[in-house]
Chain A
Amino acid sequence: MRAVLRLAWRDIRRAKGRSALIMAMIGLPVLVVSALLTGYATVLVSPREGVETSMGRADAIVRPSSVHGPVEQHPLSAMAFHLGLGNQPPEPWRPEEVAALLPPGHRALPYQVGTAEVRLPGGFETLDAVEVDLRDPLTDGMRTLVEGRLPAAAGEVAVTEAVLDLGVRLGDTVPVTRHARPATVVGVVEHPQRPTADEIVSLPGLLLLRPQKGEDLGFLVDTPAPVTWPEVQRLNRSGLGVLSRAVIMDPPDETSRSGYAPGYALGSALAVFMVVLEVVLLAGPAFTVGLRRRRDELATIAAQGASKRHLRMIVLADGLLLGGLGAIAGGLLGVVLALVGTPFVARLGTPLGPPEVPWAQVLAVVALGLVSGVCAAIAPAVQVGRESRSARRKAGKPVLGVVLIGLGLAATVLILQGDAIFGFGSWEWRALTDVLVVAASVVVVLGVIALMPWLVVRSGRAARRLPMVLRLPVRDASRHRVRTASAAAAVMAVTAAALAFAIGYQSNHRGNLANYRAGAPLGMMMVNGQHGVTTWERVRAEAEARLPGVGLVPGMVALDAEDRVITFSMPRTCSAGCKSYGWHGEELPMGDAALLRLFQGRDDPAAAAALSEGKAVIFDSGVIIDNGTITLNGYYRYDAIPDPVRVTLPAVRATAADPAQGGAVLPAAAVAAASGLKVAEARLYGMHVPADELRLERDLMAAGSADLFVEHGYPDPMAGQLWILFGSSLVVVLGGTLIATRLAAADWRQEQATMAAIGAGAGTHRGMLAGQAGFIALLGSVAGMFVGGVAGAALAISLTAKRSGSFELPETTTFVVPWGFTVAMVLGLPLLAALIAGVFTRRPRPALTRRAT
């Protein structure tokens, strides 16, 4: 064994270029993955690591839900969700009610978090707001005082360094919230684990304005005994969400089962698998060349009495050494890079926990790199074992491949039908189906990889009918089937992954789009005066000055006795399957026929007549009109109002400008009459998308507190990711294909001499290499198209089911094939690979002029 390793080591040193290439191919993925793991572990503040900063010395954080009723929560989050349909209007909690539910002998310190708007020299900024008395020892460890003192009186605040960077100085008085309450900056504090946080801290009652919604009301609680998980669940039944120190330190068993944690683990396992797979498929052929180069040497060793097993050991030792060196170097470099890099990354706004190297995971990745190096060396080593010539053209029986493909497909069907067949019906299962579908597709991918040599040989046979320029490369490729099959398999795996993702993603997006109900026609903007009539004239003048020729149509708002704007929304009779409203769709517009025309995009005399008769014009087909009437809920955006406003109006249906548009237009006079509220103009609508929305909004805000809303339709934040996907596939496809083509060129050299003697020109040589590259890439991408298509379809089904929120499989699945992307992947990349291989080839050596004798 020592002799074998020494031999491999010598060879590595002799062929430095090749060895470096292989090591890089193995080491790079290891580097990336271990850097990610280390960086993630460092950046990640685990609940345990973060317990001090989140609750100081308290035993628990208690957050009442918006409704008095049973709620459900994750053990590691105080966010609680109602059970059942949350159709009841929110009822604010009184602190005494909360206190009564907590164990006797406790002490509760009001503690609320949310966001607050602050007017700074540069305009309005939204900051993370914390309301708590930091002087209380219960808060020890939550924030550190850097400068000045902690807020001690009602109008005082402390801010973080990041806020100072926005232009605030210690001692300044800044207007906070939309009510522009004055607040004096008395101190600078730091969040120990989020150095870049934009935070503003005050005593309760200054920054946060919506305690009625529940999410902003909360307490730090000091209890005589630790708050156990059963205790948390008891409080849940009364409507309190609880984050308990004891539960964080010792989470209950269900913690790992609920939520997305297993999905995440499986997802990253799949990512690692893909990396290893690509390494094996790409580095394998490189080992093959080395092997061919060493054939003479191996023959000599064999002549000295080495058995085939010995020869295989020598080649494997190659993989062991290169894989080991590459993987260890990659792992170490990755860890170092991550540790050095994370403080810089944290500057960009991520949290920063204590430096932490997840050694077990990094070691696992290094081991994977090593294993993939050895795997990559195995194929050529096996080849050494059976170097019989006639075996080459035998296709073999594709049993393994077919079996794996069958298993993968069966698993896919089973997973999708799992609920129906086994009654898996649970959210945990649903959350996992898409990951499981991907896992099943991996089995299919493995099957196709196993099938690839057979496919290569088959297509070599089928090449008989091709014209010579194509036949030659295809035949040559299929003769060297290890090289060709592994490169084609690498392309296949990448193509399949990219297509599955693209199809799944596009289908999901299309589904979301179909479920989306816009509040206004696409491209409509609204200026909304926040304070009703008080500042409206100024806002309106500014808007008209800034938007000449837009054709702004005024809209009305309802005002209560204190001149607060009351906005109306339609009752939602659905819960999970509800179409989502975009924009301010839940705050219905109120106005005349001109406004209606804008929302309908045309004249609709019938609807206009109904509106003028005092009927609400409803666009949303999902809203139930009961007996010709509809009941609306009115609310004040910034605060709770003592008595809920309800208005019942006659209503008619009409079609809106866009099919995806919901909402309604309300008759102002009728709303006023029915509710007893005043109505006044405080909005402007227009069909216009401002070039710089943020700036316009800031200017309007400066003129007198106004919001700007623009209906952009359903956002597509992932569109760019398809291109990233395409780009990385491109790298792998071209890399793999061109490596294989280089090998082909090396093998082809001898036959090229014969070709030249027969009378082939340089063009044939180029055509040969271009054809090889094209064939490898095309074989891979077409196979990948099928695998990716199936996986994508399964993913689309799974995502549709998840979206519809039902346990059953959806009857119709939104299935979208991104054709441009598919064609680019399946045809474009092979063409590109062929082109590059054909253009960037060395000139063939001149025809042989020298023979052995």
Chain B
Amino acid sequence: MTLLTLESVSRTYGEVKALDGVDLTVAAGELVAVMGPSGSGKSTLLNLAGGLDRPSSGTVAVAGEDLARVRDLAALRRRSVGYVFQELNLIHSLTAVENVMLPRELDGVAARQARQEALAVLDEVGLREQAEAFPDELSGGQRQRVAIARALVGERRLVLADEPTGALDTATGDEILTLLRARADAGAAVLLVTHEPRYAAWADRVIFLRDGRIVDASLLESAR
């Protein structure tokens, strides 16, 4: 099942073409890595896929729904899309479990149930013990795992990760990748931005962006 479809998507910022006619599909169970030099449009791609931004032209569909026709994009993000950023991604005044509960609570789920779901996901990412800790009491890797847990909670099928390992050391980065891989294997579609080639190895598919265009993916495919 295709969870994310981009059809000739472009996004321009004034003169700058951040994305230029990108076609991309990500299916359930797939981990797709997006690579490319800085300024090539990776973040723009992720923002469009998550509905944080709208394309200048072309269509973006999540789980078969055309985002141009979705009126409440925030609700779509709460229910279907999970985001993981490189940094600044936890609410500092909330505990780990409360951060994970947040999307569910925003969606109107009762606090008690949201907490249970959140604890279950934290368990999955191996942070059950740290559930009541505040972000600044956690290590960088732990924080990123909390962010991933938050992106997963509530059975969200599309996970968008923008350089989730950027600020982490190698071992911790591997841990995070393992988690994302496991999630993809469990049936989610994962779109991962990274500029570290070694993580590309975890992906089912790698696409390469340059100046807003997808460079021939098969080249890389063969390079593998």
Contacts and interface: CB of A to CB of B under 8 A. Distances in A.
Contacts of B172: none
B125 interface: no
Interface in B71-124: 72, 74-79, 81, 83, 85-86, 88-95, 98, 101-103, 105-107, 111
A369 B166 CA distance: 50
Contact of A851 (B50, B103, B106, B162): B162
A750 B111 contact: no
Identify which of B72, B88, B95 gathers the most chain A CB atoms within 10 Å of its CB.
B88
A750 B88 CA distance: 7
Contacts of A852: 86
B79 to A, nearest CB: 8
B70 interface: no
A276 B103 CA distance: 45
B93 A849 contact: no
B20 interface: no
B111 A479 contact: no
B221 interface: no
Nearest to A466: B111
B59 to A, nearest CB: 18
Nearest to B97: A464
Interface string A456-477: 0000100010011001100110
Interface in A571-614: none
A803 to B, nearest CB: 51
B44 A759 contact: no
Nearest to B132: A464
B7 interface: no
Interface string A464-504: 10011001100110110000000000000000000000000
A468 B134 contact: no
A758 B78 contact: yes
Interface in A381-424: 389-390, 392-393
A853 B74 contact: no
Given A393-B134, A758-B103, A759-B103, A851 B43 contact: yes
A523 B149 CA distance: 75
B137 interface: yes
For A389, A460, A464, A853, which residue has the most chain B Cβ atoms within 10 angstroms? A853
A464 B97 CA distance: 11
Contact of A475 (B74, B88, B93): B93
B46 to A, nearest CB: 9
A392 B136 contact: yes
B166 A853 contact: yes
Contacts of B50: 757
Interface centre among B86, B98, B102 (most CB of A within 10 A): B102
B93 A476 contact: yes
B178 interface: no
Contacts of B166: 853
Given A756-B52, A757-B85, A853 B38 contact: yes
B133 to A, nearest CB: 10
B163 interface: yes
A640 interface: no
Interface in B119-144: 134, 136-137
Given A849-B53, A853-B166, A754 B90 contact: yes
Given A760-B106, A849-B44, A754 B91 contact: yes
Contacts of A751: 88, 91-92
B74 A760 contact: yes
Given A468-B102, A468-B111, A847-B52, A757 B83 contact: yes
A475 B106 contact: no
Contact of A853 (B43, B52, B75, B92): B43
A764 interface: yes
A758 B86 contact: no
A751 B135 CA distance: 13
Contacts of A853: 38, 43, 86, 163, 166, 195
Interface in B136-162: 136-137, 150, 162
Given A390-B137, A757-B77, A759-B106, A472 B111 contact: no
A759 B91 contact: no
A850 B166 CA distance: 16
B94 A851 contact: no
Given A468-B111, A754-B89, A847-B52, A390 B136 contact: yes
Nearest to A477: B93
B111 A389 contact: no
B111 to A, nearest CB: 6
B21 to A, nearest CB: 19
A757 B137 contact: no
Contacts of A329: none
Contact of A758 (B43, B47, B83): B83
Given A468-B111, A472-B93, A758-B77, A851 B102 contact: no
A849 to B, nearest CB: 5
B52 A758 contact: no
Nearest to B111: A467
Nearest to A853: B38
A848 B52 contact: yes
A755 interface: yes
Contacts of A475: 93-94, 98
B164 to A, nearest CB: 12
Contacts of A756: 52, 74
Interface string A81-93: 0000000000000
Contacts of B76: 759
A753 interface: yes
A551 interface: no
A365 to B, nearest CB: 40
B52 A759 contact: no
Contacts of B81: 759
A472 B79 CA distance: 20
A759 B75 contact: yes
Interface in A748-781: 750-751, 753-761, 764
Contacts of A753: 88
Contacts of A476: 93
Interface string B19-59: 00000000000000000001000011001001011000000
B55 to A, nearest CB: 12
Interface string B174-215: 000000000000000000000100000000000000000000
Contacts of A478: 93
Among B43, B91, B101, B166, residue most surrounded by chain A Cβ atoms (within 10 Å) = B91
Nearest to B44: A849
Contact of B85 (A390, A467, A851): A851
Given A468-B101, A475-B94, A758-B78, A389 B83 contact: no
Nearest to B83: A757
Given A475-B94, A853-B43, A758 B85 contact: no
A759 B77 contact: yes
B136 A389 contact: yes
Contacts of B102: 468, 755, 758, 760
Contacts of B103: 758-759
Nearest to A475: B93
A759 B85 contact: no
Contacts of A755: 91, 102
Given A759-B103, A759-B106, A472 B52 contact: no
B8 to A, nearest CB: 20
Shortest 9 CB-CB distances between A and B: which pairs?
Answer: A759-B78, A759-B77, A475-B93, A468-B105, A479-B93, A476-B93, A849-B53, A761-B74, A757-B83
22 contacts: A464-B95, A464-B98, A468-B102, A468-B105, A468-B106, A468-B111, A472-B91, A475-B94, A475-B98, A476-B93, A751-B88, A751-B91, A754-B85, A754-B88, A757-B50, A759-B75, A759-B77, A759-B81, A759-B107, A761-B72, A849-B52, A851-B85
Given A750-B88, A751-B92, A759-B76, 18 more contacts: A390-B136, A390-B137, A393-B134, A468-B102, A478-B93, A479-B93, A753-B88, A754-B90, A754-B91, A757-B52, A758-B83, A758-B150, A760-B74, A764-B106, A849-B43, A849-B47, A853-B38, A853-B195
